[in-house]
Structure 1
Amino acid sequence: MRNVTYDTIIKDGRFFDGSGGPSAVRHVGIRDGVVAAISEEPLDETGCGEVVEAAGQWVLPGMVDIHTHYDVEVLRGPDLTESLRHGVTTILLGSCSLSTVHVGGVDAGDLFGRVEAIPRQHVISAVDEKRTWENAGQYVAALESLPLGPNLAAFIGHSDMRTATMGLDRATRKEVRPSAAEQARMERMLREALDAGFVGMSAQQLLFDKLDGDLCRSRTLPSTYARGREMRGLRRILRQRGRALQAGPDVGRPHTLLTQAFGSIGLGGRPLKTSLLSAADIKAIPFVIHLLRGLAGLVNRLGGDFRFQHLPVPFEVYADGIDLVIFEEFGAGAQALHLQEKLARDELMRDPAYRARFRKDYESKYGPRVWHRDFFDAEIVACPDASVVGKSFGQVGQERGGAHPVDAFLDLVLDHGTDLRWRTTISNHRPGVLRKIAREPGVQMGFSDAGAHLRNMAFYNFGLRLLRHVRDAEVAGKPFVTVEHAVHRLTGELADWYGLDAGHLRLGDRADLMVLDPSRLDSSLEEYNEEPVAQYGGLSRMVNRNDATVPLVMVGGRTVWRSGRATSLLGRERTGRFLRTGEQSRSPLTAARRTPQTPRPSTTEIAS
């Protein structure tokens, strides 16, 4: 007699399988960590450990976040609750050429500290304390020894490999090239990472990503110093193995974007899977987004396998004083951020010659750039001087005798330091353009930067915000994509492109899923919130809080988030695992997995 007992049944929810196919009300049975039944008819609840009533709610695969910097946080906080609570169950580490596979604590601190705005001293202590690995395979084993909350996958960072091979000083000198032995070692590191299941390699060409520390402070990341021979060898391995290159072109050198994009084309052979940063509707150069959309389509028609990464929400950033990465893109801003001591910074900002340089950089509106450089479009949200709160720096200057906006900004930084908090939106500010990008096949939904820029931004719930945009347009009778397609873009599409066993809810799939209340896709998704980070000494970081929107999250068939709270599993037991590219679930039920489509009206079930 067949045993049809389930560990969990989720009943009467609108079911999305992650393929983009039609959704429908279904009952989902979970047994031994995998999807064991998908049925139009109610399932037998006899002996079931948990029954979840999901009427009026959506049942979705867990979302995939393809661009994070959790490499440090995961070592001491492997639950990664800030992403899980929003339905993200698979997370990619190792973006922007940065990973902790080969470098020690001090080098990791110099690589991550300033670029990703993670306190350098905590990077050093976390890596030195937890490091038990010497290569990529051991790194994966070390991750899987932790009580992981979500599933992880990873890029190997080019700056990580280059630093470990050449030393940080030599790796950041223009005149130095890797020797033949050093090139061979980096290529061996890459092969080892791919053998361990990494999705590929991340590289960087962006020149305003600067190093922290003292030894090489304010030099750009090691990956930016690589030249053609070095990169050709690494790219050849990725192309041969069918793995992905994540790259960041330099906005100040547009030819680097074209080089990366057209480098994806196979020219009669295998294309190089390339994911490029990033498709953004930048305020400073509003026409460029249309060129990027066209470029992706052209490259793929010519035989490439090319995608832009895109954050599908307004890119709003906050800053404490002058501590914000956008100032790195011009000389006067980078000059101030180079100085670690407040007294030295203050002296610089009082210097009339420095102020003149800053004004000149600010007023230079031509050429590629990220920040719009408009202090009238920068709102002060907190300051000991309450009279300036709610105003822009431009307004403050006007009220102070017509002072230049730069002088008004520098005066307030001098008076209040990091107690001056302000915000601006850099890109993705036009809803109509966001709707167009959401339909582009050459664009991937991602670029959250979760785990980095702790005081500057919070996009942990970017997937929910996209779904709200889609749902609101549908309700208004002006749909731009279906909800099913939007779910696919956040789940199965990403997992399939990177070769990961995630993003789908088919029979035999691991039960990584979320239950979502569509009535709570509301303004709570955009509210400002902060929360202390224990592993960073209690630093208060920006977060998202919309707990009513996602009442349930499961990883591997185990409930990790329920009714606004983490369950007792998180931080104590491992629910997630390291997902190796090309590896399917080890469950014996995998053989019964169906093609990714919504089941016909019947009970589709795997017998135990």
Structure 2
Amino acid sequence: MAHDVVIKGGTVVDGTGAPARRADVAIDGDRVSVVGDVDTTGAGQVFDAEGRIVTPGFVDLHSHLDAQVGWDPIMSSSCYHGVTSVVMGNCGMTFAPVHAGEESVLARAMETVEDIPASCILEGLPWNWETYGQYLDAVDAMPMGVNAGGYVGDVALRLYVAGDAACEPDFVATPDQLKQMAALVEEAITAGALGYSISRSLFHRVPDGRNVPGTWSPPEEFFAVAEPLGRLGRGVLEMAPRYNEPDGGTSRVDEELAWMAELSRRTGRPFSFNLQQIKSLGDHYRRVLELSEEANRSGSRLHPQITPRSVGVLFSLAANTLVDNLPSFQPIRELDPAGRLAALRDPEVRARLIAEAADQPVDPYRSMYLMAEEPARYDFGPEDSLAAMAEARGVSPIEVWIDAVVETGGAAIVNWPVMNEDHEAVRELLTSPVTVLGLADAGAHATQIMDASQPTYLLEHWVRQEGALTLEEGVKALTSETAGFIGFTDRGVLREGAFADVNVIDFEAVSLPLPEIVHDFPGGAPRFVQRAHGIDHTFVNGVHFMDHGEPTGNLPGRLLRGN
């Protein structure tokens, strides 16, 4: 039989955790037709995978591509890292349901929570919907390189039903409002939403500084709104939890986990929620893992969602810099990156900036790390900090930064980890039996954070360098475990009959270049992107989508609706 595509001579890591094995892969239409020995005679396309691993496409549970899907069909940076399916609508933040004329309310809320410019959101989306099901229909009509599905968000639901009053900390939904929200959730799930998402994080605020709707709501409200998931037996739950009180340090982990566990038990649905190590909360993450395991033994399905590296705010000459507050930099801020670089090369400008920063305290720079060489590193020690580098040279941290920026032609990045600062804590989270990978945040935090590259980092650092996971375990974490959480049985695995979402990877070459700023959002707005080395080919629904980090021009992605 002549096949459409044959991937020849690779080592198949099928996503199930089974031992890697040498095998060919044949694709016909949008499905894998053979995993084994394949005759290439008459094949439409043949790809040589000798010395490469062949894996299922990666499934990213946590993106905020809800707006970017409207103007960026390849959905970068996810596409550079072997991701073939993304889930949108996380953390309660969605663009539906929405009343006509109130689009800017959701756009501005998304901007303050996820750092996606509201102007880009309003310009880049057609806004030709009201319900979440209609939003899915609009996405279905858009060209896409990767597959995408989404959750309906609690923030949008509450704003739709109760308006601005839902942002008040003492707001309590009426029984009628709860019925309306539950009906909207049922509409969304019936139309194909993958689940229902919630935000209770104290970091998430609307433009005037109040917390997003739902932050202070009594748990009983979420039981009422999520009721359709249990009755229909469909959809999952996702949340950004409120682990602490407003004072920042008082834990409420036990209280939060208790109602989350009960909601999962009562609905019978899987429940994933954000979890990182945070210095101010001590070892709260260990308590979350402990309570999740305990709850799951009594019928809950809790899966803390984790990321395999530190979450850091990035500083770049092309975006936010370390000298934005210095007087001599104010006229330079108005220049483009080339102009900024030329200014820093001027000895007089350099001297003024160093002098103006001379009285700055050094301690903040003990938590900031220079990224000036490839491959990009994220496993920092105290000796890697800007402060330590400055002390070793007998200069100021700002002088170290200016010199690095000039020496790298503006490419140097400073990383300020704010979560998962403890490398060994990340190891604990990654190897826990209850956690699931997520928190890549693709599409969000445009000029602040770049974590969409986590699949590449997991393979490079935790599998190849550290050996904390076997290759089979690492691939499983990126594929069948994430796909299985959503309920997909025919994605995230490489077997006959499964959808042909496939990666061909040069495992020994997998690494990350530095993040960089590009200006490709609507209106030329800036954002960070990060590419990858070693991802040779990516196929989506049987079609060659990415070739050595470059899009082929094919856009085979589909809307993924829930069962």
User: Distance between the aligned counterparts of 2:309 and 2:520, measured in 1?
Assistant: 28
Alpha-carbon distance change, 381 to 60 in structure 1, aligned in 2, over 3 angstroms: closer
Q: Does residue 227 of the first structure (1) align with residue 218 of the second (2)?
A: yes
Contact kept, 8 Å, 1:378 with 1:393, in 2: the verdict is: no
Q: Which moved more, 1:309-318 or 1:229-238?
A: 229-238
Alpha-carbon distance change, 380 to 20 in structure 1, aligned in 2, over 3 angstroms: closer
Q: 2:314 aligns with which of 305, 313, 318?
A: 318
Q: Does residue 568 of the first structure (1) align with residue 553 of the second (2)?
A: yes
Contact kept, 8 Å, 1:206 with 1:250, in 2: the verdict is: yes
User: Distance between the aligned counterparts of 2:116 and 2:420, measured in 1?
Assistant: 25
Contact kept, 8 Å, 2:514 with 2:530, in 1: the verdict is: yes
Alpha-carbon distance change, 181 to 290 in structure 1, aligned in 2, over 3 angstroms: closer
How big is the shift at 1:141? 1.6
Structure 1 counterpart SS, 2:65 = coil
Alpha-carbon distance change, 10 to 443 in structure 1, aligned in 2, over 3 angstroms: same
Counterpart residue identity of residue 545, structure 2:
V
What corresponds to 1:579 in structure 2? 560
How big is the shift at 1:148? 1.0
Instruction: Give the 5 Å matches for 1:51-200.
Output: 51-103=46-98, 104-127=102-125, 130-167=126-163, 169-200=164-195
How big is the shift at 1:269? 5.7
User: Distance between the aligned counterparts of 1:62 and 1:6, measured in 2?
Assistant: 20
Structure 1 counterpart SS, 2:109 = helix
What corresponds to 2:291 in structure 1? 295
User: Distance between the aligned counterparts of 2:309 and 2:79, measured in 1?
Assistant: 19
What corresponds to 2:367 in structure 1? 377
TM-score by length of 1: 0.74
What corresponds to 1:600 in structure 2? none
How big is the shift at 1:316? 2.3
What corresponds to 1:386 in structure 2? none
Counterpart residue identity of residue 474, structure 2:
A
Q: Does residue 550 of the first structure (1) align with residue 541 of the second (2)?
A: no
User: Distance between the aligned counterparts of 1:393 and 1:110, measured in 2?
Assistant: 40
Contact kept, 8 Å, 1:309 with 1:445, in 2: the verdict is: yes
Alpha-carbon distance change, 262 to 233 in structure 1, aligned in 2, over 3 angstroms: closer
Structure 2 counterpart SS, 1:203 = strand
User: Distance between the aligned counterparts of 2:371 and 2:21, measured in 1?
Assistant: 44
Q: Does residue 211 of the first structure (1) align with residue 206 of the second (2)?
A: yes
What corresponds to 2:303 in structure 1? 307
Q: Which moved more, 1:430-439 or 1:154-163?
A: 430-439
How big is the shift at 1:393? 12
Alpha-carbon distance change, 174 to 486 in structure 1, aligned in 2, over 3 angstroms: same
Q: Does residue 50 of the first structure (1) align with residue 36 of the second (2)?
A: no
Deviation per residue, 1:211-261 (Å, 9 max, x gap)? 12xxxx111111214224422201333333343211122232332664345
Alpha-carbon distance change, 228 to 71 in structure 1, aligned in 2, over 3 angstroms: same
Counterpart residue identity of residue 56, structure 1:
G
Contact kept, 8 Å, 2:242 with 2:256, in 1: the verdict is: no
Structure 1 counterpart SS, 2:546 = strand
Alpha-carbon distance change, 16 to 553 in structure 1, aligned in 2, over 3 angstroms: same
What corresponds to 2:12 in structure 1? 15
Q: Does residue 259 of the first structure (1) align with residue 240 of the second (2)?
A: no
User: Distance between the aligned counterparts of 1:493 and 1:537, measured in 2?
Assistant: 38
User: Distance between the aligned counterparts of 2:266 and 2:531, measured in 1?
Assistant: 47
User: Gapped runs of 5+ residues in structure 2?
Assistant: 246-250, 321-333, 335-360, 373-384, 398-411
User: Distance between the aligned counterparts of 2:289 and 2:274, measured in 1?
Assistant: 13
Structure 1 counterpart SS, 2:114 = coil
How big is the shift at 1:197? 2.0
What corresponds to 2:460 in structure 1? 468
Contact kept, 8 Å, 1:265 with 1:303, in 2: the verdict is: no
User: Distance between the aligned counterparts of 2:130 and 2:558, measured in 1?
Assistant: 20
User: What is the total number of aligned residue pairs between the two structures?
Assistant: 487
Alpha-carbon distance change, 320 to 10 in structure 1, aligned in 2, over 3 angstroms: closer
Alpha-carbon distance change, 250 to 394 in structure 1, aligned in 2, over 3 angstroms: farther
How big is the shift at 1:567? 0.6
TM-score by length of 2: 0.79
User: Distance between the aligned counterparts of 2:370 and 2:7, measured in 1?
Assistant: 46
Q: 1:496 aligns with which of 484, 489, 501?
A: 484
User: Distance between the aligned counterparts of 2:414 and 2:123, measured in 1?
Assistant: 30
Deviation per residue, 1:279-311 (Å, 9 max, x gap)? x23344453332232222111122210010100
Structure 1 counterpart SS, 2:558 = coil
Alpha-carbon distance change, 146 to 533 in structure 1, aligned in 2, over 3 angstroms: farther
Counterpart residue identity of residue 441, structure 1:
P
Structure 1 counterpart SS, 2:261 = coil
How big is the shift at 1:267? 9.7
Contact kept, 8 Å, 1:553 with 1:561, in 2: the verdict is: yes
User: Gapped runs of 5+ residues in structure 1?
Assistant: 325-341, 343-362, 364-372, 383-389, 406-419, 583-608
Deviation per residue, 1:545-568 (Å, 9 max, x gap)? 22x311100101001111231112
Alpha-carbon distance change, 536 to 456 in structure 1, aligned in 2, over 3 angstroms: same
